[in-house]
Structure 1
Amino acid sequence: MRELVFALEYEPGCNEVADALADHPNARVRSLSLHATAERLWRVDHATGTPEALDAIEDAFLDGDYYADCLATENCGATQTTRVLDRADNRLVLYSDWERTPTCASVPHIARDHLGDGVLFETRHEGRHYTWRLIHSGDGDVAAFFDALETAVGDCAQMEMLRTADTTTVTRENDGTPSGLSPTQEAALQAAVEHGYYESPRETDVGGLAGHLDVPRSTLTYRLRRAEEYLAKQYVAGERVAEERLTSH
């Protein structure tokens, strides 16, 4: 089995959920379940954020012009159904289902065409960044998948490859330590250290660092957050392994 992780960074006005999340930077949407057949797509999403953020996310999902994951730049005529399954002050669970038309396109359907049946999908949406994690058999044509995806996305989003690897193999650097960071995340961390972002007090802020790297502030924030999340989880996992080894002895 192969793992494929990439991100779409939507331009303003191209994705209503991305626009809502961009207006509420601390809000998140992640998939709990996502399935697709040749004709349909249905999914359950879990959103977190302030009540105002959840209102905006709910409106984006319930808007008739938005079809979950459809990449068509104009109304494709699909039959869309969205229901609120659960709502609290800081969380929202949504069910979405749509029946595609010949003009519809989506990441899951393009994946089915080029990577075969049985692909597993996991998504995370923060701001304008929509991260996809796919698990597939490894028998498909990944290059053709990305070519088709790039055509479908057009000018609405930029694609960024984050990781591709065998799911049974841990990628390691030359020094033998595991690496789950993309080259852009590693570059962001290196620049942050070199320019004093992690010093106390800080010698630069995100805006200054983004200007040095010539990337949007939101993009840099996303890359640093993902890199920091990975390193924190690796550290905690390493501590647990060390404790288990001490206990076993």
Structure 2
Amino acid sequence: MRELVFALEYNPGCNQVADTLAAHPGARIRSLSLHATAESLWRVDHATGTADALDAIEGAVLNSDYYADCLASDVCGATQTTRVLDHTGDTLVLYSDWERTPTCESVPHIAREHLGDGVLFETRHEGRHYTWRIIHSGAGDVAGFFDDLDAAVGDCAEREMLRTVDTSAATGDGDGKRVELAPEQEAALRAAVEHGYYESPREVDVGELAAHLDVPRSTLTYRLRRAEEQLAKRHVTGEGVLERPLQL
């Protein structure tokens, strides 16, 4: 079995949910269940955040031209249904399903076409970053999957590859093997160290560091947080960076 983890960073105006999450820092959405056939897709998502953030997320999903995970740039004519299963306190649970049309594309459908049946999906959405974790058999055309995904996303988002590993490989045994970070995370972490971001007091803040690297502040924050997460897990467990499910 193989694991693919990547993130789509949506540009403003391209994804209404991403715009809503970007306007409410700290809010996030993670998938509880996600399934796709050749013709349809259905999922259950759990959103957390402030009351205002959850109201805004519900509004973005229910009161706009929203199709869960559809990558079509124009209205694709899919039949979409979204229901609120729970909205209490700081929790919002949503159920969405849609029937695909010939112009619809989505990450799960592109994955099924290139990686075969039996693909498992897990997602996390915070700010403009939409992280996908895909488990597949190891067969199929991974390069073709990413080529078609990039074509479907177009100019709406940038794709960042976070990890690809063999999930059947044994985790580390505390032998001190080096943690392998995605290149973007490695570069962000090195720059942070070199410019004194981790000094006390800090010699540069995240906004200044982002400007130096010529990346959005939210992108740099995301990359540093993901790198720190993997390093912290390695330190505490003494294992490699084969990550547990994205329960964040």
Q: Give the structure-1-normalised TM-score.
A: 0.91
Counterpart Cα distance in 2 of 1:196 and 1:170: 36
2:38–2:109 CA contact under 8 A, matched in 1: yes
1:17–1:60 CA contact under 8 A, matched in 2: yes
Structure 2 equivalent of residue 77 of structure 1: 77
Counterpart Cα distance in 1 of 2:217 and 2:131: 17
Letter in 1 for 2:208: G
Cα distance, 1:30 vs structure 2: 0.6
Superposed CA RMSD: 1.6
Cα distance, 1:232 vs structure 2: 2.3
Structure 2 equivalent of residue 90 of structure 1: 90
Structure 2 equivalent of residue 154 of structure 1: 154
The gaps in structure 2 that reach 5 residues or longer are 240-248
Counterpart Cα distance in 2 of 1:141 and 1:185: 26
Cα–Cα, structure 1 residues 171 and 178, in superposed 2: closer, same or farther, change >3 Å? Answer: farther
Structure number with greater Rg is 1
Letter in 2 for 1:151: A
Letter in 2 for 1:204: V
Cα–Cα, structure 1 residues 25 and 99, in superposed 2: closer, same or farther, change >3 Å? Answer: same
Counterpart Cα distance in 1 of 2:56 and 2:180: 33
Counterpart Cα distance in 1 of 2:178 and 2:43: 32
Moved more, 160-169 or 176-185: 176-185
Could you report, residue by residue, the CA deviation over 1:23-82 in whole angstroms, capped at 9, with x for unpaired residues?
011111111100000111000111111011111111111134010000011111111111
Structure 1 equivalent of residue 4 of structure 2: 4
Cα distance, 1:203 vs structure 2: 0.5
Could you report, residue by residue, the CA deviation over 1:173-205 in whole angstroms, capped at 9, with x for unpaired residues?
xx8425252111111111111111111111000
Cα–Cα, structure 1 residues 209 and 42, in superposed 2: closer, same or farther, change >3 Å? Answer: same
Counterpart Cα distance in 1 of 2:68 and 2:217: 26
Work out whether 1:25 is the aligned partner of 2:25. yes
Cα–Cα, structure 1 residues 97 and 234, in superposed 2: closer, same or farther, change >3 Å? Answer: same
Cα distance, 1:167 vs structure 2: 0.6
Alignment of structure 1 residues 223-242 onto 2, 5 Å: 223-238=223-238
Q: Give the structure-2-normalised TM-score.
A: 0.91
Counterpart Cα distance in 2 of 1:179 and 1:169: 15
Structure 1 equivalent of residue 38 of structure 2: 38
2:179–2:231 CA contact under 8 A, matched in 1: no
2:179–2:234 CA contact under 8 A, matched in 1: no
Structure 2 equivalent of residue 145 of structure 1: 145
Cα distance, 1:5 vs structure 2: 0.7
Structure 1 equivalent of residue 118 of structure 2: 118
**Matched residues, percent identical?**
79
Cα distance, 1:233 vs structure 2: 2.5
Work out whether 1:188 is the aligned partner of 2:152. no
Structure 2 equivalent of residue 60 of structure 1: 60
Cα distance, 1:220 vs structure 2: 0.2
Structure 2 equivalent of residue 131 of structure 1: 131
Letter in 2 for 1:228: E
The gaps in structure 1 that reach 5 residues or longer are 240-249
Could you report, residue by residue, the CA deviation over 1:76-123 in whole angstroms, capped at 9, with x for unpaired residues?
111111111111221111111111111100000000000000000010
Secondary structure of the structure 2 residue equivalent to 1:42: strand
1:180–1:230 CA contact under 8 A, matched in 2: no
Cα distance, 1:207 vs structure 2: 0.9
Structure 1 equivalent of residue 243 of structure 2: none
Number of residues of Structure 1 aligned to a counterpart in Structure 2? 237
